[in-house]
């Protein structure tokens, strides 16, 4: 056999390997092929090709493995059990940029599924290799490494701490300052994933100067970058007053409020989340946002959005209103109650309705004036319906009940209370009747209106046990009216009248 023929055999073998990995990588990109590939034991065939002498075969084999592992946790587990991870990590230090991108893709694909699989990636020494990749010249390698680190960090505090301990944060911050937008996005995302778990981790991110580099990016024209920047600032702000103040001092307002009208709903939601995380801490921070026009902006935002996008805005109003009478009145004056009342009816998800009910309760619990503002737009029957509905979740029922009690205990606007006399269960009715018993003894006009509107009749129809608080309130109300009026509106009074008519003998009939 000639040298040419021998060379030809090797060329054919190389072409066959190349074609094989390229075809598998292509097939692995389609979900419908995954099960068939799994049944064919494709993992065991790809593993030796990671050590192939041809770089292109190595890289494509890694891409195919990444796509398979990305699909589900069973395949990711198969990568772990096949001892593929140590091989990838070891190769990261010596290979070219194309292989590094492919290998980090596999690490990311495995880590994304669960904390346990992410821990397996950490255990094989991947963190040091990934952090080293952040120092590469090629932006694509940096991006792939940062992405993998983010998927590890997002699961829990322990994994995030491991990423921090590997020295990732300063290098991720440098990535944030690179000109490539895709790298900036991933870097902001990693900072968000690390910050979210604990105050200490968020403080670590802040200590390297992250806020100063994140804050100017809220003005970026790039939508995807703004999503990640607002997310990161929110995750930092949520942990403590000090961290929230640091974010505010970085002058992210009024840009954050302007972003509530962004065309991208994720930017809107993340900007609203940032506002919520800041106002929840103290009355002073809430007042700062109110002074910047934050409440009016959030009220508009709630009116223009639906579903989970509007949820942080709803909660923001609740947090502001909870702090003080003055701040609660600021939410009311800005038409916040009206928007929340609409959300309570329009929204389909119980967790959003529950947040809305809670926010309404915070607005109305401070004084009779606050309670009237909530009650006069017919919110109370809607809260009662949420509380009584068998379709409502336990959380929605609980928050609706609490909101009702909060508002009822301050409400002296009787026209809004009357509809509840008919439908409210005893535990709510007690609070309704209590308010009538406070107002009626001192207000003749209200007493007259109470009779003419049918309120007194409804009170007489309430069934209660002697000696209960509810019965005491009813007695107080009845004592506000002449006994004959009370009797007239009591159940059975018409029957008693008819009986008296039957027993009554006219004077003319007696004379005959």
Please state whether 264 falls in left (phi above 0), alpha (psi between -120 and 50) or beta.
beta
H helix runs in 424-464, sequence order: 426-439, 444-452, 455-460
Q: pLDDT (tens digit, 9 = 90+) per residue, 326-338?
A: 999 999 999 889 9
Average pLDDT of 459-488?
Answer: 78
pTM beyond 0.85, yes or no: no
Highest mean pLDDT among 270-284, 403-417, 419-433: 270-284
Is-contact 217 188, C-beta < 8 A? yes
| Predicted local distance difference test score (pLDDT) of residue 511 | 47
Number of other residues whose CB lies within 10 A of the CB of residue 74: 12
Confidence band, pLDDT 50/70/90 cuts, at residue 388 = confident
Average per-residue pLDDT in the chain?
87
| Predicted local distance difference test score (pLDDT) of residue 11 | 80
Q: State yes or no: pLDDT of 69 exceeds 90.
A: no
Of 330-334, 352-356, 371-375, 496-500, which gets the smallest average pLDDT?
Answer: 496-500
Cα gap 47→58, rounded to integer Å:
9
Give, in order, the Cα–Cα distances in Å from 194 to each of 57, 79, 157, 231: 35, 26, 8, 11
| Predicted local distance difference test score (pLDDT) of residue 499 | 60
Cα gap 229→189, rounded to integer Å:
7
| Predicted local distance difference test score (pLDDT) of residue 116 | 92
Q: State yes or no: pLDDT of 53 exceeds 70.
A: yes
What is the Rg, in whole angstroms, of the alpha carbon atoms belonging to the chain?
Answer: 34
Cα gap 362→367, rounded to integer Å:
11
Of 13-22, 136-145, 257-266, 344-353, which gets the smallest average pLDDT?
Answer: 13-22
Q: pLDDT (tens digit, 9 = 90+) per residue, 230-241?
A: 999 999 999 999
SS (H, E, C) 14-56: HHHHHHHHHHHHHHHCCHHHHHHHHHCCHHHHHHHHHHCCCHH
| Predicted local distance difference test score (pLDDT) of residue 492 | 62
Q: What is the largest CA-CA distance in the chain?
A: 149
Q: State yes or no: pLDDT of 498 exceeds 60.
A: no
Please tell me whether the peptide bond between 442 and the residue prior to it is cis, using omega within 30 degrees of 0. no
More confidently predicted of 352 and 430:
352
Is-contact 493 485, C-beta < 8 A? no
């Amino acid at each position: 056999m000639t040298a040419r023929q021998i060379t030809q055999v090797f060329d054919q073998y190389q072409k066959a390997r190349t074609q094989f990995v390229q075809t598998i990588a292509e097939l692995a990109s389609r979900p419908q092929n995954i099960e068939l590939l799994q049944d064919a034991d494709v993992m065991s065939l790809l593993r030796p090709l990671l050590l192939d002498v041809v770089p292109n075969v190595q890289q494509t084999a890694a891409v195919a493995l990444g796509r398979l592992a990305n699909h589900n946790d069973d395949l990711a587990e198969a990568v772990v059990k096949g001892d593929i991870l140590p091989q990838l990590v070891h190769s990261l230090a010596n290979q070219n940029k194309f292989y590094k991108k492919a290998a980090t893709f596999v690490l990311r694909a495995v880590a994304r599924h669960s904390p346990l699989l992410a821990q397996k990636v950490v255990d094989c020494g991947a963190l040091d290799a990934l952090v080293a990749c952040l120092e590469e010249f090629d932006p694509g390698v940096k991006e792939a490494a940062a992405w993998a680190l983010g998927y590890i960090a997002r699961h829990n505090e322990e994994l995030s701490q491991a990423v921090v301990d590997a020295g990732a944060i300063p290098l991720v911050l440098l990535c944030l300052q690179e000109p490539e937008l895709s790298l900036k996005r991933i870097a902001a995302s990693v900072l968000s994933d690390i910050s979210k778990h604990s105050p200490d981790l968020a403080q670590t991110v802040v200590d390297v100067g992250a806020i100063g580099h994140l804050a100017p990016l809220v003005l970026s024209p790039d939508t995807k970058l703004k999503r990640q920047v607002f997310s990161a600032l929110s995750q930092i702000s949520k942990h403590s007053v000090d961290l929230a103040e640091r974010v505010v001092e970085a002058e992210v307002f009024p840009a954050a409020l302007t972003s509530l009208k962004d065309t991208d709903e994720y930017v809107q939601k993340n900007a609203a989340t940032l506002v919520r995380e800041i106002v929840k801490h103290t009355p002073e921070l809430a007042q700062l946002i109110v002074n910047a026009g934050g409440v009016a902006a959030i009220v508009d935002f709630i009116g223009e959005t639906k579903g989970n996008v509007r949820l942080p805005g709803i909660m923001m109003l609740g947090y502001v209103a909870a702090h003080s009478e003055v701040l609660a009145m600021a939410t009311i004056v800005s038409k916040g109650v009206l928007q929340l009342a609409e959300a309570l009816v329009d929204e389909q998800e119980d967790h959003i309705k529950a947040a809305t009910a809670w926010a309404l309760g915070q607005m109305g619990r401070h004084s009779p004036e606050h309670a009237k503002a909530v009650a006069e737009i017919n919110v109370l029957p809607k809260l009662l319906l949420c509380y009584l509905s068998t379709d409502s979740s336990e959380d929605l029922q609980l928050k609706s009940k609490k909101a009702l009690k909060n508002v009822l205990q301050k409400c002296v606007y009787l026209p809004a209370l009357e509809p509840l006399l008919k439908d409210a269960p005893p535990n709510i009715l007690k609070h309704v009747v209590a308010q009538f018993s406070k107002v009626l003894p001192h207000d003749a006009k209200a007493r007259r209106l109470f009779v003419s509107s049918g309120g007194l009749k409804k009170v007489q129809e309430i069934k209660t046990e002697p000696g209960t608080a509810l019965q005491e309130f009813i007695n107080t109300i009845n004592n506000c009216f002449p006994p004959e009026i009370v009797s007239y509106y009591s159940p059975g009074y018409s029957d008693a009248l008819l009986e008296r008519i039957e027993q009554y003998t006219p004077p003319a009939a007696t004379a005959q």
